Structure 1
Amino acid sequence: MLFSKGTDYSILIMGYLSSLTSNELKSKSQISEKLNLPREFVSQLLQRLHNAGLIHAVRGRSGGYKLRTSPKNITLKDVVEAIDGKLQTVDCLSEHAKGCNRVGFCTPIIKELYLLEEKINKNLELINFSKMKVTV
């Protein structure tokens, strides 16, 4: 499984924010510069992380971003889903999937892929950001 570039960068951002003290804020520019990431992309990712309730944004001259809760309460699964949506190994496991004309002969495959998806999700839930602090 490969993470999208957005998820990859968001994991770095969340790891960096996890290394800060609870009252410390970092601006988009500071985050972008410290992690050597494109500023506009960082801005988009911060918005998505904020909309997902993972980070807190403070407006104003001395504003910035910080985690909404303790790093131990934010999992890798939270970040993956905030950026890329719910993990699915194949389209037919999606909640939006329409009827499939191959359902009869690929059912054993789907069953195994569903089990794989469940294992991946459980493992992503086990990893929290208290274990993934990024210091730069």
Structure 2
Amino acid sequence: MRLTMYTDYSLRVLIYLGTKEDGKLTTIQEISDAYHISKNHLMKVTFELGKAGFIETVRGRGGGIRLADRPENINVGKVVRKMEEDFHLVECFNPETNMCPISPICGLRGVLGKALHAYLSVLDEYNLQDLLFNKEGLRDLLRT
């Protein structure tokens, strides 16, 4: 299983925001500079994070973004599920496009389905606060 860069960037944005003092606004440019990621990519990511309710956006002069909830209330599994387009590990996971002739009797689908469930279950055990166990170190590395 491999996460898309979109989900990777989403988690990085949340980690960055989690290193900030409560309620302090951050700009997309700051995050872009810290991670050396395209500002345009991050604009799309932050838009979706805002729609999903993970971050708040404040428009206008002096505006920016911040976490919409406390880090301990932001579940990693939920973020991954919301930001990933799909979890079609193999063709047969998508009934609309599945053309595999052995699907009706293939054991691979069940094995991969079980593995995907386990993967997501582990992510569900963690929240953003768990990823921020070394806030000072993160701040130093990100220069926040």
Q: Any idea what the Cα deviations from partners look like across 1:98-133, whole Å, max 9, x if unmatched?
A: 686323331x22111111111111111112110223
In structure 2, what is the equivalent of residue 120 of structure 1? Answer: 119
Query: Normalising by the residue count of structure 1, what TM-score does the alignment of the two structures yield?
Result: 0.86
Question: Helix, strand or coil: the match of 2:25?
Answer: coil
1:105 counterpart letter in structure 2:
I
1:132 counterpart letter in structure 2:
L
In structure 2, what is the equivalent of residue 45 of structure 1? Answer: 45
Cα deviation for residue 77 of structure 1 reads 1.9
Q: Any idea what the Cα deviations from partners look like across 1:75-106, whole Å, max 9, x if unmatched?
A: 22222223223434334234756686323331
| Root-mean-square deviation over aligned CA pairs | 2.0
Larger mean CA deviation between 114-123 and 125-134 belongs to 125-134
Inter-CA distance 97–75: structure 2 relative to 1 (3 Å threshold): farther
Q: Distance in 2 between matches of 1:60 and 1:97?
A: 44
**Identity across the alignment (%):** 24
Q: Is the 8 A contact 2:91 2:100 kept in 1?
A: no
Inter-CA distance 99–38: structure 2 relative to 1 (3 Å threshold): closer
Query: Normalising by the residue count of structure 2, what TM-score does the alignment of the two structures yield?
Result: 0.81
1:7 and 2:7 matched:
yes
